[in-house]
Structures are given as C-alpha cells and as structure tokens.
Amino acid sequence: MTRLLTAGLAALLALFTAFGALALDAAEPAAERTPAYVVTDDGVPDYEVWDQVANRAERAIEQNRASDKVLDDLRLELTDWRNLFSEAQKENSIRIDTLKTQLATLGPEPETAGSEPAVLTQRRSELTTKLNAARLPVQEAEEAYSRADVLISKIDTLMRSRQTDQMLALGPSPINLVLWPKAFTDLKTTLDLAVAEVRENWGSDAQRRDLRADLPVTLLLLVVSILLLTRSRAWIMRLGNKVRERRRGSARGVIGFLVSIGQVLAPMIGIFILMVALNLAGVLGLRGQVIADLLPWFGFSLFISLWIGTRLFATESGGAPLIDLPRAALRTEARVNVALLGMLLGLWPILTNLSKHEGYSSGTFAVLSFPAILATGYLLMRMGRTLRRNIQLQSDGDVKTFRERAVLLMGQACAAVGIAAPVLAAIGYTSLASSILFPMVLTMGVIAVLSLLHVFLIRVYGVARKLDEDEADQALLPVLMTSVLVVLSLPIMALIWGVRPTELSELWATFQQGFQLGEARITPRTFMIFALIFGIGYVATRGAQSALRSSILPKTRLDKGGQNAIAVGVGYLGIFLAAVIAITTAGIDLSSIAIIAGALSVGIGFGLQTIVSNFVSGIILLIERPISEGDWIEVGGQMGYVRDISVRATRIETFDRTDVILPNSDLVSGVVTNYTRGNSIGRVIIPVGVAYGSDTRRIEAILREIAENHPMVTVEPAPAVVFQGFGADSLDFEIRAILSDVNYMLSVKSEINHEIARRFVEEGIEIPFAQRDIWLRNPEALTDATRTSGATGNDPDKVDTPNKNTMSKMLTVDDMDDAGTDTGVGEEGDD
C-alpha cells in the first residue's frame, strides 16, 4: 500500500513538473522581452525619455481613443519604468546611512548660531551637503515612481470602465427573426470556406507527397488517439475497481482517486496526439486551425466534467459518493448534466474565437450564441435543483451544518443564474449573460474539484495515521490543507470572473511592497524571515527547557520550585532573544518605530494593565519563590496543591480534584498560607472530650501514649496533651503533635481517633454526648389540653395520667405559647 501510494504521488508530482516546464517554455518568449526603459551610460534612468513616455501615456488616457491592445502595451512599458525607478530608490543607500550616522555623532544642531565651535559647524555643513547630494537621485526616482504608479492606476481604471461598458452594452435580441437568415448565411459561408480550405490543401501535389511520406506515422497516431479518446476511460475505471477490491478502509478511496485521474490524463494525451496527427496531415485551413487550437481546452473541459460527475454522483465500491442522491436515475441524470455543461463550456471559446476570426456582426453572434446560452442555463438550473433537493432530503428541511448551507446556497445561485442568463441574452445583453453564466459554471467546477481534494486529503490522512474515515474527518490538518488550497484558488476565481492578469500582478506587487511602519517597511519577505528565525529560536528554547527539566536540573540539589523557576526563566529569556535576533536579521529598525511603540504602549498599558500586573507578579513569584509547584497553600478561601505557575496565573488543585486558576497578582498582594514551604513538617490538633468524673491524669497518659505510638508523629518535639478546660458537656483535652509529613494530616487524625475510641472502651472511659431536660412551669394547662384532645378515645381515664412520652409527642411550640409555659434547660453531662 505504501509503495503504491508513493508511486501515485510521484506520478502526480512528475505530471505537475511536466506541465510547469511547458508553462515555463510558453512563458519564455515573454521573459526574453526587451525592457522598455532607457538608462544612461552610468546606469541611471534617462529621465528625459521617461518624460516623453509619461506625456504620451497622459495624452492616451485623456483622449481615451487608444485600443485595448495599445493600452496594454503602454501599461507594460510603464511597469518596466516603474520597476526601474524602484531599483533606483535603493541607490546610495549605504552612503546615505553612513552620512546620517556621521551627522548623528555631531549631535543636534544648536538653536543659536555661534554656540558651537566653528570646526563642528563647518563639518556639519559639509556632511549635510554630501547627504543632500546623495539623496538627490533617490528623490528623483521616488518622484518618477509615483508618477508611473499613478499612470498605471489610471490605465487600469480606464480598462475596467471599458470592460464594464462592454459587458453592459445592449445589443440585438437573438429572438428577433429578422436576424436569423443573416446568421445562418454567415455560418454556412464559414463552413463552406472551411471545407474549401481542406479541399485546397488536399489537392496540392506537395501536400499529398508529404502526406504519403508521413502516412504510417499519421495513421498510427490517429489509431492511438482514437483508442485513447474512446476506450481509455473504461480501461482506467476497470483498473481502479480491481485495485480497490484489494484494499480496505480509507486506502480504497485514496487508490481510487489516484487511479481516476487517469480518466482525464489518458484522453488528454489522445487529444494532443490527434493534434500532432492533424498537423502532419496538413489538411487544416485557417478556420480549421482556429478550431484545432482550442481542441485541448474542449477536451479538458469535457473529460474533467466527466471525471467530476463520476466522483460526485457515482456510487463506488470504495465508498459513498460525495453527493448521494436517493435513486440511480437521479445520479445518472446528474452525471449527464455535468458532462453536457463541460461540453458547452468547451464549445463556447471555439464559438467566440471563430466569430472574431470571421468578423461576425453582433446580430449574427447573438443568434449563434443564444442556443449555447439557453442550453447552459437550463442545465445549470437543473443542477441547482439537484443540489437543493439533495440537501432538503438529507436534512429533512432543517439546514444546520455549514456544508448543508453552502450547498444549498450554491444550488440557489445556480438556479438564479440559469434563469437570469437566458433572459438577459433574449433581451439583447448577450455579453452580460455570457459574463455571468460561463464563469458560474467554471466556479462550480473549481468548487467541486476543491471538495474532491478535501475528501482525498482526509483519506490520505486516515491512511497515514491509521484512522478510519470518520475519525480522519474530524482531524484539523486536512481542514487546514484544504483552506490553503482555497486561498490558492482565489486568483483563479478572480480570473474566471473577469479580473485581468495585469490587475492581479498589480495586486501582488502591492502586497510585496508591504506597509510602512514609521521609517521601517514591513514586507512579506521581511515577515517570512522574522517568522523563520523566531520559529527556530522558539523551538530551540523549548528544546533547551525540556533538556533542563529532564536531564540537567534533576541532577542538581535544587528543589522542584527552583528547577521550575530556572526552566521558566530560560524560556522567557530564549523567546526574548529569539525575537530580538529575528527582528535584527529581518532588517527592521527598532529605532524607527520607537515613537509608534511608545504611543501604543500607553494605550496598551491602560487596556492590559491587569494582564501586565499578573505577568509581573508571575516574574516575582518565580524569582522570590514564596510558593513552588507541589506546595500546599491556602489563599482567598481556596486550599490545595500548586500544580503550575504560568505567566499570568497559577493553577491550584483542590482536595476534591478540581482546578482553581488564581491570578498571580492575588498571590503577591494577598495573604497566602503555605503549609509546606521549605519542608513538609506540620502540626495536627485533635480535640477529645470525656465525661465528667473521669480521671484527668489517666486520660492525659492514655492520649500521650496513643500519640507517641503513631509512626507519623515526631519524637522531637514530642507530642503534648493539653487539658483545655471544663466544657458544657465534657472535660476537654487536645492532642498536639508534630507530623513528619503534614500532607497526611487527615489520615493521621482518623487513625488516632480510631485508637482513642478503642482504648476508651477498654478502659471504661465514657465519651459524653449532649442531653437536654425540659421543665414545665404549669403542666396543668397541658393536662387540660390532653384531656380535651383524648375525649374521643375509648379509655378517658388515661387522660388524667399522661406519661412522659405522650406529653413529649403532644407538646408543640404553639401549645407551650398558648399555655403560658416557661422552659428551663438543665444540662447533665453524665445522665
């Protein structure tokens, strides 16, 4: 499995490398273009030539009569000049910094003339003159750069305005029957000319000789291309099914995805072979060549749509489809709709390019393009209905998850665009209809590919971590990787919706310039260098902390609190040094942002004063170490063990195993009781009560013996027994003992109490409990009440002589109040 997965990924990498090489080869002529700027013999920009170019650009923008091609060329020329001026701004940078440093060493210029020595004044004047001379080329380049930047912005604005006007232009309506004869005549003329060109090429003797010479190769290429175009997809599908049958779990999905890519690659290879065969045959004319040049796009659009439809809606042996429709007929319909959308998307550029080549009128183009727009809109509307139906069936009308809301929104957008585009085209807004319809189809295709890649990444993660698909679906890494792919697809989305490549390049150039912070400029390169150096320093710091905690500090005589303080201090120091080194390496001048940092610190000081107070308190705790990890403390009514001391707060684990987070400032400014500071020795006090009449000396001896015999009680100092006094119910004693480990206080108390109870039973010593006697001042009132309440009984004689228990049960507070009774409490400890 691992070898097959590695081979598949290597094949993908090789494929992307090949396409990248082809793209570089295609872009190579543009890279070799001669720059449009002019420099002098000294390598300085020729500002006279620049003025001429700038004046020409300003006239072209003001007159607004230049074509789009002329404006594009002019913008490219201005971009070359602007890049030259950007490099010229760096001239004399070392010399300027040196002169600034020299002037700074002379100190500030005095306010009154003659207050400093003449030598210093003359030297200051010389350095200032040299600094101004060194700055002059830079200032000229900055002024020219600003002018070029403004002109480029004006051209972009003009091009966008033209693009908008062209898109919103009202043209002929394709449902106007008057335009149909002319459109059909133009189309027939194009087909007749294309056939005539083929016949003319075929009738040439030289062409026939070349064809006969290349006939074996041409026929072989035609046969191979036809096989790849007609049979390769079926072969790849069978291969994928056989490979998936041997796998289980997420591995089936990974293998299925990798093999399924061949369903696009193999037919595309067939198309390229077909183009080679047609070029060898040499029978294509000008119009045939226009169509042949767009065959790769048509093939890619068709086969990628077939692949997307298969992956989205077909039930595979390797798992459920991404969009699970309830019936097979619906899945088949969805796959057909996706394939037809891809075919129409591939035909649209052929139609538009052929129209431009033939010079069709706007009426002819509107009539010929309307069927394609109508069919694409209908299919897109059906796809929107399929998506909405799927979500409604899955969620039972209650849409909750993000995926469900996103799919429902896409379905509604597809339906809306599918209806609006044909209506706009029928009115005469053909350009507007095509500008929203086909980009919508492309957008849905990109979203579908991203969704399939997300599922693929989840399965790859599951195979790598040996997780099932449900567990891998909950992982964070595949989501982050998909988010990166979404961000990378944003430029493609922008190009799809009509953003010109020059605008994207301008946006990228602006992004690369960064932003100004004081006199320092923060660029993406600066940020990447800072992040890389700081990340290395952070990892090294954490490694050093781990080594200190696990290998070095345990071998010293420091206690646990001291070890933790050193490790945390090394962490703070390492992060601080990493930040300083990263800032210095990135070339950020801290002095240039000192004023801004000072201003921000005031606001931050007010807004984060509590956090800063806790941070400083944390530093104090680590330095003074009044508490350490593992200490038993009590603060603010909370008692427990210190488990962690961080920058902002300290975590305490209470005896019921709950964590209490205390701000460090409370530990510094509040009252803290540390039961185990420095050592674990502590005192336990156990109160004991005995009945009155007991021998106090005997009691003292027994309690002392019990305390001395406990193994946790220290010998020196010895335990003490104190006769505290005469209590309300008992004679009160206390055992006061020092424990070798105060953490066992509760268990020691329990064991000593058990021993006291046992010894007192053996010695016949009574442990009293509280008793209360109630004396009634006028019991005759209760006797009358008892007689009255018992009159309904069978034995009225018992009313005259109620016993004590009967009276106790009948006596209530209300009866006592009504009878005017007075209670006196007598206490007897021995009864």
Q: Is the pTM of this model over 0.75?
A: no
- 3-state secondary structure labels for all residues of 362-406: HHHHHHHHHHHHHHHHHHHHHHHHHHHHHHHHHHCCCCCCHHHHH
* Cβ atoms of 542 and 575 closer than 8 Å: no
**Amino acid at the residue 411:** G
Rounded CA separation 323/311 (Å): 9
Which residue ranges of the chain lie beneath pLDDT 50?
Answer: 1-32, 316-319, 792-831
* pLDDT at res. 37: 60
Q: Is-contact 416 386, C-beta < 8 A?
A: no
Q: What tokens appear for 256 in the block?
A: 């299925």
DSSP symbol at 109:
P
Quote the DSSP letter at residue 36: S
Q: What is the pLDDT of residue 817?
A: 42
For residue 515, CA distances in Å to 519, 525, 526, 580, 600 come to: 10, 12, 11, 21, 18
User: Strand pairing partners for 780?
Assistant: none
pLDDT of 399: 56
Are 583 and 591 contacting, i.e. CB atoms less than 8 angstroms apart? no
Cα torsion through 400, 405, 408, 414, rounded to 10: 170
d(CA 518, CA 520): 5
Report the chain's mean pLDDT, rounded to a whole number.
80
* Predicted local distance difference test score (pLDDT) of residue 600: 59
State how far the Cα of 814 lies from the Cα of 317, in Å rounded to an integer.
Answer: 85
The separation between the first and the last C-alpha atoms of the chain, rounded to the nearest angstrom, is 88
User: Of 341, 263, 325, 268, nearest to 299 (Cα)?
Assistant: 268
Instruction: Report the run of H or E that residue 825 belongs to, with start and end.
Output: strand 823-826
Strands ordered across the beta sheet of 672-674? 659-663, 649-654, 638-645, 632-635, 672-674
Give 729-744 pLDDT, tens digit per residue.
889 999 999 998 888 8
Q: Decide: helix, strand or coil at residue 651.
A: strand
Separation in Å, CA 740 to CA 642, 683, 715, 716:
20, 9, 10, 10
Q: Facing residues of 823 across strands?
A: 776
**Residue bearing tokens 């298969």:** 310
Q: pLDDT digit string (tens) for 455-470?
A: 889 888 888 888 887 8
What DSSP line would sit under 296-332, residue for residue? HHHHHHHHHHHHHHHHHHS-BTTB--SS--SSHHHHH
Which is nearest to 144 in space by CA: 223, 27, 57? Answer: 57
